[in-house]
Amino acid sequence: MTRIPKPRLRQLRIVSIAAAGLLTASLLVAPPSSAQVVPAAQAAPAAATNTIPGVDEIVSSPNLRLLTNLPKVAPLDGTNSDLAFQGKYAFAGNYNGFVTYDISRPSSPRVVSRVLCPGSQNDISVYGDLLFLSTDSSRSDDSCNSAAQGADVKSSWEGIKIFDIKNKANPRYIKSVETACGSHTHTLVPGKDKKSVYLYVSSYSPRATFPDCQPPHDSISIIKVPVKKPTQAAVVATPNLFPDGGFEGSETGSATTGCHDITAYPSRDLAAGACMGDGILMDIRDREAPRVINRVRDTTNFAFWHSATFNNSGTKVVFTDELGGGGAATCNEEVGPNRGADAIFDITGRGDHRKMNFRSYFKIPRVNADTENCVAHNGSLIPVPGKDIMVQAWYQGGISVWDFTNSAQPKEIAFWERGPISNEEMIGGGSWSAYYYNGHIYSNDLFKGFDVLKLSDWRTWPAELVRYKELNVQSQPSYLGGW
């Protein structure tokens, strides 16, 4: 789903919640009293069906259930977006800012602070005491009090905002960095010296009338952030990833005019870019000079290369196709199983000779209503050693847990979804991001708010032993890093 010189940073508005008692009953849905462990014989999802649940009706396989939901609250009542995690905290992006949750008790999450700072999408990541937000909507300036302003105005601003989150109840806005064409998403890549962290900024759709977003735009922006001196953050490189201009586009597929999202696997010096009309594999040993070593296209079924996920061994990559831009009904019989889906690629070869080889598609097997936006979206691996299992958001298609250990025959093993928001008209909603973190699945629903779910399945029990100190899903960790 998707523009500003830099005046002084203005005061941002923060609403801090000091205690759980300030959460009223209207904000918290009580969870069931205890988790249910489902034996293997019962842990199968429903088969493909044409039965569509009623408005707001919840349906699921027996091994995945909702523990609690926290609805959106003004002023953070815009569209919810991505999630990041650190210790006992979850950080949830929203087009109007971000929310910090204390998830030390996952069944009873508590709001610690709400930061009002409009600027879609507010894609989010965290690193130590720093939090980063992407702004990909043209603003009058770089403050948290800015107004929408056309990208055709030279003074308009878009880019990255940096916050100090040492005090989780009182985040401080400390720095902004403007980037060409804004920042639709960004990917955090730790520097090898641990003294700096890099942000790979993805943006796209240049126009001749946009002074700060001129075509061609075949590059990403790389921001270097000195960890101890974050106010010195600056763009240090703008590598051209598509010297030939990338995919020229077709009736069904987007032309490449930048990247939508990049997933890095820092411990393996790899990154995968989902770049509108192209999927790319990159060597990132030199953090400031990533190199494209392989590129793939799908001119038959893919409309918009949206995001990527590696398996733990770095021998596979899953790309998602955001057919319809996240606002269309594509989980139906008319669209079929191969469009608006995931595409699984095996990575073969070594070094610069590595190649991505297509193996299969995966799409949820349930039919959705024509009033439900549904398409493949953000997900993460569930850390089961020796297996390739991930949880994934499908907007109003809900949340799916699926196994791609056999990359030619992926299969769903759990699902959870709400029925349509409306039977009469298309109202955008559903899970934007669904991620597994330290024993639970957390989902940021565009419309309904913050959901916490519990997966109880023998096939994923080993994941319960994995604990991460920090998780930015697009900066992919190894399972071994979490033991």
Structure confidence by residue, pLDDT tens digits, 114-170: 999 999 999 999 999 999 999 999 999 999 999 999 999 999 999 999 999 999 999
pLDDT class of 227 with cuts at 50, 70, 90: very high
Strands (DSSP E) found in 45-203: 58-60, 64-70, 80-86, 89-94, 97-102, 110-116, 121-127, 130-139, 157-164, 172-178, 185-190, 196-202
Model confidence band, residue 32 (pLDDT cutoffs 50, 70, 90): very low
- At residue 47 the predicted structure's pLDDT band, cuts being 50, 70 and 90, is very low
In the predicted structure, residue 33 carries a pLDDT above the cut 50? no
Q: What is the mean pLDDT of residues 265-274?
A: 98
Q: What is the CA radius of gyration of the chain?
A: 21
Percent of the chain exceeding pLDDT 70 equals 89
Q: Following DSSP, what letter does each residue of 89-128 receive, concatenated?
A: EEEEEETTEEEEEE-SSTTS-EEEEEEE---TEEEEEEET
Q: What is the pLDDT of residue 49?
A: 55
448 — pLDDT class (breaks 50, 70, 90) = very high
Paired strand residues for 83? 92
Dihedral in degrees, nearest 10, Cα atoms 84, 18, 70, 91: -10
Average pLDDT on 53-57 reads 95
pLDDT number for residue 1: 59
Q: Which domains can be identified in the chain, with CATH numbers?
A: 13-482 (2.130.10.10)
- Residue range 365-406, pLDDT digits in tens: 999 999 999 999 999 999 999 999 999 999 999 999 999 999
Mean of the pLDDT values across residues 96-104? 98
What confidence tens digit (pLDDT) does each residue in 302-331 have?
Answer: 999 999 999 999 999 999 999 999 999 999
Q: Considering the chain, what is the average pLDDT of its residues?
A: 91
Answer whether residue 18 shows pLDDT above 60. Answer: no
Q: To the nearest whole percent, how much of the chain has pLDDT over 90? A: 88
Neighbours of 252 (CB within 10 A): 13
- Write down the pLDDT at residue 51: 86
